[in-house]
Amino acid sequence: MDHFRNPRNMGEMKDADAVGEYGNPTCGDLMYIYIKVKEINGQKIIDDISFQTFGCAAAIASSSMITEIAKGKTLDDAIKITRDDVADALDGLPPIKLHCSNLAADALHVAIKKYRENE
Beta carbons of 114 and 17 less than 8 angstroms apart? no
In sequence order, which residues have a C-beta less than 8 Å from that of residue 36 and are 6 or more positions away? 13, 15, 16, 17, 46, 47, 48, 49
Which of 10, 21, 24, 27 is an active site residue? 27
Beta carbons of 59 and 100 less than 8 angstroms apart? yes
27 is catalytic: yes
Which of 100, 103, 104, 111 is an active site residue? 100
In sequence order, which residues have a C-beta less than 8 Å from that of residue 95 and are 6 or more positions away? none
Question: What are the residue numbers of the active site?
Answer: 27, 100
